[in-house]
Structure 1
């Protein structure tokens, strides 16, 4: 799978962009604030129907314009398929093969990507919410059902929290309504937890081997899913349901006093261990970076296993964050296998066959120029 054509209209600092790419490594060179990351974000949006940098879609629309549009043509299994995402102040519309999709969850997953940017180091050392977002986005790429379930869960969670606020302020006292919300929440929560366990298990299988190779056999990586409720991956759905319902019953009074849901997938976390030590707390910066890199490279293999095609890889200003050995391992892994976009201010000092064979573009003030036409 690779993206062959990309067109942007009124997107960030791009009035208009039209570009073609090869199924190889594409290096995007440019100074800071010229539009390199904006282009990577646009490719990400075309895949995921949302930005990785902001939750406010209006920021993607160029100032004083009514809408922004991202169009692309992807090649997969000898099929050429157009994608289109239009972002306006009224919302988003997504088209796959010229057909508008009734739900974004039906659109996401048609074009798979893996992004690695400096902020992705926060998957290891950042807050639990960053790791939950990482899990949800990656499972969503290969499971439209999961995207729908997490969307439904969040809606019911909002309703339940609003009702808890009413109970906190004594505007409502009917616990029966709260119990109905709890039952609905639990039925979705156990499905979400089960899929997360399955995903983490697969991710760990790939990441362990990759991490061991990068660390020259000196380190062993383990990834653990930490639910906020006392369940395990060995529990069946009915046992998970009972544990959840029992937990909510025990904390009902506390939730009504505090006005918020205290347990559930929205409060779960991931833990990374290297040689049995928590990397977030005790790992060196090098171990944290190796862990993040291993996880990202594992994503590539996991998606390939699920959809039988390699995703597109976006490396946004990340090479400068890695030392020579990790750079070399990353570039050797993707060589000849994954269409890759690399943004950087300079390739000087990076001596690797992959970059020597890459196609080079230059970004200057929202304009993309190929090296041949420069």
Structure 2
């Protein structure tokens, strides 16, 4: 945090009034006001125009307009100013716990998306989470670590991609919908089974991670295989995972396995950023009633039991399945739709949870020139 964001041209009495007003503006995802959260990076006065600079530590471009309007309305009450100019930037901090494996070159934060069992929509969630983070302004990569059932190539519409090496040491990732992506699926045919023992599969994950020429990324989302086996253990020991998102459905059999996943992450000291409940409800296309084919409250009960955030509840909707099957996931296919808004809210909460794990002094702030 900049210890002195106030320009000398700003009178002390006015700066006190401005900071007082900014202290009433609460960021809903950090649960702090703008001053306490360190978002206020510059205050300047040009004549009767107040220039305000904010830097967010998590991606939320879709919220900028709303924030600027709220600040303009609040600050317009001051008699000393006639106009407010607000510039907003993004600087994502790197989160790495003491004792973790060495950081991956160019990657600030690794987020693992996991599930206790298959069939709960984990890969769909991982892909749309990555796309939501990117749509909100972050630089994002996606690693398909589901060695036995890679689905990311199809979901991103790049199943014909074949990695190449320009330096003989690293592989170039695929680029799709603004994401850098790597998957074992790029190296095997669609009908070819990956018949590997656990240690071999875990080794493949580490190789894919470390031998991919990732561009500079704020987040690398890893789509994990289901369960709590060798790959998960390797991930915790050899990969600097900043946090994990656990995906479940409401039904008891899914939440029971999700709880095992949370326990596993707790044992290996990887913070659980929250729970996503897929297939939470279904909206009837005929009458519009809300139905719960897999039960209700399983994800919320699990979140409360383990004291982790509930990141979101997503519907059972055929459009989500059709979008990923067609290589054009929901956040890309319908960016302004209700379901995309839910994925973006999950992205906001996930990224903000990471911020709350970071040290404020670790932020690297870049303020745009006037």
TM-score, reference length from structure 2: 0.24
Higher helix share: 1
